Structure 1
Amino acid sequence: MEAKTQIWEVMPFIVMVIMEGCTIGLTIFAKSALTNGLSPFVFIVYANSLATLILFLFSFLMHSNDRSLPPTFTFSMFMRFLFLGLTGITMTQTFSFLGLSYSSPILVCAMGHLIPSSNFLLSLILRKKYANFRSSAMLFQVMGTLISIMGAAVSEFFKGPLIRHSSHQLRHAKQFFVFSSAPEFWILGGVLLAAASFSVSLWNFMQKETVKLYPEPMKVICYYNFLGTILSAIVSLMVERDSDAWKLKHKMELILIVLTALFGGVIRPTIQVWFTRLKGPFYFQVFKPFGIAYATICGVTFFPNSLHYGSVVGATIIGIGYYSVIWGQIKEDEDKIGCDDSSDSLDKKEPLLQENKEMEV
C-alpha cells in the first residue's frame, strides 16, 4: 500500500515533465511545418475546428446524464464568450504561431514566461490589487516582473555566438526539422510572442469572472473555442485569399493538425484542470520552465547552428523572474488565507465576549 501511495504521489510530477517535453516536441514540429510552407492562419483554423468538434463531443458525453438546468445564456454572457474566443484563441494563437514562424521554440518558451508578469501588471492597471511595497509578496512580484522584462530584452537584442557548430550529418538532418529563423525576423517574432502573452493575461482575467457567472467550465471552453474558431476563420480568409494555401500538401501537416487539436485543445487543458484540483492552482505553473531546459537540450543536440548563447541566457533570466512572480503570488495567497482565518477566529470569539458582558451586567 505504501509503495502504491508513493507511486501516486510521484505520478503527477512524471506526467507534468512528460507534458512539457511533448509541448516542446510539438512546437518544433510546428516550426518545421510553418517554415516549409504551411500557413499559420490556415493551421490555426484547421486545428481549432477539430479541437472544437472533439470538445463538444466530450462535453456532450460528460453532461449526458446531467438533468440540472444550465445557467441562463444571456447576450452579456455571449459577449463574454466572444471576448474569450478573441483573446484566448484568435489573438493568442495568431501571435504565437506567427511569432514562432519568425523565431524559435526556445524564444516561444522564454516569452511564454512573461504571462505571470503580464497578469501582475494587468491586475494593477485594472485595480484588482494595490501596490503595497511593505508586503514581501508584492516585492517578489515587482522584482520578478523587472527580471522577466530584462530577460526578454536580452533574448530579443542579444543573440551572441553559436553554442556549437553542427557536423555534416546534423546539417543534413536539419532539412527535415527546423529550429530557428533568419536573424532579421527575430525581433518581430519576439514582439509577437510578447503580445501573445499579454493576450493570455486578458483571457485569464475574463475567464475567471466568466466561470463564476457560468459555473460549467467544460461548456465555457466549448463555447469560446467555437467562437474563437469562427473569428480565426474570418481573419484567415481575409489574409489567405489564395485557395492553394488552404490545401494540405504533406501528410505531416495533417498529423500536426490532429496532434495539436488533441494535445493542445483537449489533453493538456484536461490535465491542467485535474492537477489544479488535486495539487492546487500553482502546481501546473511550476513546471513551465522545464520547457526552456527541453528546448536548450534539443537545440544543442540536434540544431546547434540555430542556438545562440543570448537565447539561453535570456530564457534563463526570464525563468528566474517567472519563479519570483509565482513565489510572490503563492505568498500573497497564503497571507490572504491567514487574514481570513484570523478574521474567522475573531468572529467566533465575539459571542463569548458578549456573553461575558451580559454576565457582568
Structure 2
Amino acid sequence: MKKHISTETICGKLHKAKPFFAVVFLQFATIVIAPFALILDKKIRPKMTFSIFGKIMLLGLLEPVVDQNLYFLGMKYTTATFAAAMCNVLPAITLVMACFFRLEKFKVKSIHSQAKLAGTVATVAGAMLMTLLKGPIIELPWTKGSSGSHEQRRVEINLHRSIKGSLMITVGCFSWACFMNLQAITLRTYPAELSLTAWICLLGTAQGGIVALVMERGKAAVWSINWDSKFLAAVYSGIFCSGIAYYIQGVVMKERGPVFVTAFSPLSMIIVAVLSSFILAEQMFLGRVVGAIVIVMGLYLVIWGKKKDYKSQRIEEEAIPVKQMTEIDNNGNEHSIHEVVNINLSKEGAVDGDEQLATRC
C-alpha cells in the first residue's frame, strides 16, 4: 500500500532530484525508529547471528535499494501511471512465492484456498481497471467544470513508450515481493518487529548510500539539502511510508502471512482516487468506480479465506494433555500413561474430544 501513497507524496517534490539520493533520504526513519526499538524490544530481541544478519542485509538491499531505485528510474523512463499499473501485480507474485517457500498453505480442492486465489486475481484485476480503464466521466458536485489534468492526458498517450522503464519496474516489483516473503521468514527467527524495522532502514541507508556515491560520483550538488517542501516530503515518506510501514506489515505478517498483507496493496488506489476527487477536484471516471468495487470484492475473498485457514491452523495445533495415569504390571512395577485430547471443531461449532494415547513410559 505504501508504494502508491509514497509515489503521490514525493514524486511531485523529488522528481527533479536524483533518484539514488532520494532513496537514501527516504530512510530517515532510522533516526526515529531506532531509539524506540532499543527500549521496547529489549526483552524480546533475540541474539543476533550471522544467518539473521545476512537476511536483514538482504532485506535492506531488496526493498529500500533495489526496489525503490528501479521504481523511480522506471517511472522516469515511463510514467507514474504505468508504474502504478505494473506494481498492481504484487499480490499475485507474492502469492506464488509464498506457496513456493511454504509460507502459505494452498490446497487446490479447498474452498478457502480457491477463495484466496480468486480474491488475489480480483484485486489485481480491479487495480488494473482503475489504472488503465477510464470510461465515462461521473459528474460530482465538487468536480463539475473540471477539465482534468493535462498531465494525465500526456501520460495516457505515452503509457507504453519505454520498454527499458517497464523492465526496471517489473524487476522492482519482483524485488518487493521477495522482500515481503523474506521478511516473513526472518520474523520466525527474529520476532522483534521494531528492531527488525530499524535494522532494515539502517542497512538500507548504508547500502543505498554506497549505490548513490557510485552512481552520482563527482556530483556534490546532489547531496545538498534545502529546508523546503521537498525536505518535508522526504522526511514524511521516510518515517511513515518506510519505517512505520515496515513495522506494521511485520506485525500483521507474523500472524497472517505476506499474502494477507499484500492483498491490501491495491486498496491504496481507492484511497488516492477518493482523496484526489475531494481535495484536488479530479474527475471521477466509471472505470475507477468499477475497479474499486472489484478490489473490495477480491479483498473480502482473501480475508475470508485467510480467516478460515487461521481457524483451521489453530484447531489442528490445539492438543492439550489432560490425563496422567499409573498402571502396575504383573511384576509390581509402575508405568506412567499420558493421554492427550485432540480438540476438533465441527461446522456446527461442537467440540469433539478424541482421547488418544500419546506416550507410554
Comparing 236-245 with 344-353, greater Cα deviation is found at 344-353
Counterpart residue type for residue 268 of structure 2: G
Instruction: Please name the residue that 2:316 is paired with.
Output: 339
- Residues 218 and 289 (structure 1 numbering): CA distance in 2 closer, same or farther, change over 3 Å? same
Q: 1:291 aligns with which of 253, 265, 268?
A: 268
Do residues 90 (structure 1) and 68 (structure 2) align? no
8 A contact 1:84–1:207 mirrored in 2: yes
Instruction: Please name the residue that 2:199 is paired with.
Output: 223
Task: Please report how far the alpha carbon of residue 257 of structure 1 lies from its aligned counterpart in structure 2 after TM superposition.
Answer: 1.7
Instruction: Please name the residue that 2:347 is paired with.
Output: none
SS in 1 for 2:108: coil
- Residues 107 and 322 (structure 1 numbering): CA distance in 2 closer, same or farther, change over 3 Å? farther
Structural mapping, 1:105-254, within 5 Å: 108=84, 114-129=89-104, 131-155=106-130, 157-160=132-135, 182-187=155-160, 195-241=171-217, 242-248=219-225, 251-254=228-231
Query: What is the alpha-carbon root mean square deviation over aligned residues?
Result: 4.5
Do residues 73 (structure 1) and 49 (structure 2) align? yes
Comparing 77-86 with 300-309, greater Cα deviation is found at 300-309
Counterpart residue type for residue 196 of structure 2: V
- Residues 265 and 131 (structure 1 numbering): CA distance in 2 closer, same or farther, change over 3 Å? closer
Q: 2:235 aligns with which of 243, 250, 258?
A: 258
Please, what TM-score do these two structures have when normalized by structure 1?
0.68
Distance 1:92 1:33 in 2: 19
Distance 1:276 1:33 in 2: 31
Alpha-carbon displacement from aligned partner over 1:269-323 (angstroms, at most 9, x marks no partner)? 555667889xx64897787665333311233345566875545544553443343
Please, what TM-score do these two structures have when normalized by structure 2?
0.68
Do residues 329 (structure 1) and 329 (structure 2) align? no
- Residues 146 and 261 (structure 1 numbering): CA distance in 2 closer, same or farther, change over 3 Å? closer
Structural mapping, 1:10-89, within 5 Å: 27-35=7-15, 37-48=16-27, 50-62=28-40, 66=42, 70-74=46-50, 76-89=51-64
Distance 2:157 2:226 in 1: 28
- Residues 193 and 320 (structure 1 numbering): CA distance in 2 closer, same or farther, change over 3 Å? farther
- Residues 96 and 59 (structure 1 numbering): CA distance in 2 closer, same or farther, change over 3 Å? same
8 A contact 2:66–2:175 mirrored in 1: yes
8 A contact 1:117–1:144 mirrored in 2: no
- Residues 163 and 31 (structure 1 numbering): CA distance in 2 closer, same or farther, change over 3 Å? farther
- Residues 299 and 222 (structure 1 numbering): CA distance in 2 closer, same or farther, change over 3 Å? closer
Task: Please report how far the alpha carbon of residue 138 of structure 1 lies from its aligned counterpart in structure 2 after TM superposition.
Answer: 1.2
Gaps of 5+ in 1: 1-19, 355-361
Count matched residues: 322
- Residues 293 and 216 (structure 1 numbering): CA distance in 2 closer, same or farther, change over 3 Å? closer
Counterpart residue type for residue 31 of structure 2: L
Q: 2:355 aligns with which of 340, 349, 356?
A: 349
Distance 1:275 1:309 in 2: 33
Task: Please report how far the alpha carbon of residue 244 of structure 1 lies from its aligned counterpart in structure 2 after TM superposition.
Answer: 3.1
Distance 1:289 1:205 in 2: 18
Distance 2:189 2:99 in 1: 23
- Residues 310 and 248 (structure 1 numbering): CA distance in 2 closer, same or farther, change over 3 Å? farther
Alpha-carbon displacement from aligned partner over 1:78-103 (angstroms, at most 9, x marks no partner)? 32111111223223323444566654
Task: Please report how far the alpha carbon of residue 136 of structure 1 lies from its aligned counterpart in structure 2 after TM superposition.
Answer: 0.7
Task: Please report how far the alpha carbon of residue 210 of structure 1 lies from its aligned counterpart in structure 2 after TM superposition.
Answer: 1.8
Counterpart residue type for residue 55 of structure 1: I
Task: Please report how far the alpha carbon of residue 32 of structure 1 lies from its aligned counterpart in structure 2 after TM superposition.
Answer: 1.3
Counterpart residue type for residue 333 of structure 1: Y
Distance 2:154 2:231 in 1: 23
Distance 1:69 1:53 in 2: 19
8 A contact 2:126–2:292 mirrored in 1: yes
Gaps of 5+ in 2: 320-340, 345-352
8 A contact 2:99–2:106 mirrored in 1: yes
Alpha-carbon displacement from aligned partner over 1:100-128 (angstroms, at most 9, x marks no partner)? 665458974x7666444332211233355
Distance 2:280 2:82 in 1: 12
Richer in helix (by share): 1
Counterpart residue type for residue 29 of structure 1: T
Comparing 318-327 with 284-293, greater Cα deviation is found at 284-293
Q: Which protein, 1 or 2, shows the higher relative CO under an 8 Å CA cutoff with sep ≥ 6?
A: 1
Instruction: Name the % identity.
Output: 21
- Residues 151 and 344 (structure 1 numbering): CA distance in 2 closer, same or farther, change over 3 Å? same
Task: Please report how far the alpha carbon of residue 135 of structure 1 lies from its aligned counterpart in structure 2 after TM superposition.
Answer: 0.5
8 A contact 2:193–2:251 mirrored in 1: no
8 A contact 1:117–1:141 mirrored in 2: no
